[in-house]
Structure 1
């Protein structure tokens, strides 16, 4: 059997688990186990939702707070991932297209004004940092969707890092820290699942030469064996050529 190449020191693999909260603990546990096994340890990030859809408040769940702190203590980076993760705004134009076709009512920060966005970001940051006992790594909007108000709030609050579908950047300086599409999967319909599997397969062929590769998994991914198989194959493919890293290593 031909030996796999060692990861290149200048190529980074960034992996993350989205939608982390009390309501997704079992799924997050499963995904964390998969990532740890494939990446050689807790070399990934978690994106924490303070109160997913208003039904799973982190503030009231001390047992999950303990788990979150333990994950953080192990070295897993923690990002603020919105507040509710639910989009309740009314959109028009380009934003309306994004809200309808790029997410299922979960682009919470796409239509928020700066004041509301700033308050939710500040509250989420304070809560998560109080739970884990250290600073959060940054802010990533639900569904990777930001409106003008969210962009302004990000800069005003001074988050060191943010991410969308195509890049990682510093909201304060505007510096782009990494470029390229994020590889992710979809479970909410057969068509979207098939599309995400096809994109992951294409990415395994097209992105090995990229300096930074990003992989994002969601709790819903554990509901389909085809998605879990694709996630495992994709992690293995890039862990062979890219060094599993922290987002903080980009700075």
Structure 2
């Protein structure tokens, strides 16, 4: 579960004791809680080059950590981590940037903050040493518009049929997806299909069970 400490500056977790109790109950039940940015919304910090293209075409103004300098990224990580860990009563499982988009400043901050895990669209890695624990695209859906719903349904069909050679397949569901019947049906079919010849696992399993010779160093 990915937790935003203050979504769009409108939902401060630090001021929501009832939801803090829910998070702690889920965490106590075994749900892995990740820190997911600070506010999930781009502050208007301008990215450049490839990063600017990614911000414009891969997220609707929600690539919060793509254009941040190291100091600001670190500040938000530390503040958010404190709030979430106080709520769940244990360390977060890792850090995942909103929209899976990381700028150079954010990657530098990750090295300092010592999160156990991080992920983007194509991989899961250990920030401490850059070791990649799993490769391959994540299957996800989008419910923001009819065109995004249609394209994500098509991608899910293609991905679940063609990712058979990958040892690890990740599936990501956003809260908004649960209000669209066609997306829920696609999610169910995808989970059933990819789980046929795989064991459903936790992110922590990637740290515990991947053989040393199967882990490659980031380049």
- Normalising to structure 1: TM-score of the pair? 0.81
2:143 counterpart of 1:184: no
Kindly indicate whether residue 177 of structure 2 is the aligned counterpart of residue 221 of structure 1. yes
**Residues of 1 paired with 2:54 and 2:104: CA distance?**
14
Aligned to 1:71: 26
2:125 to 153, 165, 169: 169
2:205 corresponds to which residue?
A: 249
Q: Shift of residue 185 of structure 1?
A: 0.3
Instruction: Give the Å deviation of 1:131.
Output: 0.8
Partner of 1:136: 92
Match of 1:83 in 2: 38
1:101 equivalent to 2:49? Answer no
| Structure 1 runs not aligned, ≥5 long | 1-45
Distance 1:71 1:244 in 2: 18
Aligned to 2:17: 62
* Residues in 2 aligned to 1:192 and 1:51: alpha-carbon distance in whole angstroms: 25
> Relative contact order (alpha carbons < 8 A, sep ≥ 6): 1 or 2 greater?
1
2:157 to 192, 197, 201: 201
- 1:213-236, Cα deviation, whole Å (9 max, x unpaired): 000000110221111110011011
**Larger proportion of strand:** 1
Q: Distance in 1 between matches of 2:164 and 2:82?
A: 38
| Alpha-carbon shift at residue 242 of structure 1 (Å) | 1.3
Q: With the length of structure 2 as denominator, give the TM-score of the two structures.
A: 0.92
State the secondary structure of the residue aligned to 1:150.
Answer: helix
Task: Find the residue that maps to 2:191 and give its secondary structure.
Answer: helix
Q: How many residues align?
A: 206
Q: Report Cα offsets for 1:146-199 as digits up to 9, x if no partner.
A: 000000000111111100000000111010000000000011121211111111
1:96-141 deviation per Cα after TM superposition (whole angstroms, max 9, x unaligned): 1111100000010000000000011111111111111111110000
Are residue 155 (structure 1) and residue 155 (structure 2) matched?
A: no
Once residues 157 and 65 of structure 1 are traced to their aligned partners in structure 2, the CA distance between those partners, rounded to angstroms, is 23
Distance 1:147 1:92 in 2: 10
Q: Secondary structure at the match of 2:26?
A: helix
- In 2, the alpha carbon distance for the partners of 1:51 and 1:188 equals 20
Across the aligned residues of Structure 1 and Structure 2, the Cα RMSD in angstroms comes to 0.8
Q: String of CA shifts for 1:73-118, please: whole Å, max 9, x gaps.
A: 0000000000000011122321211111000000100000000000
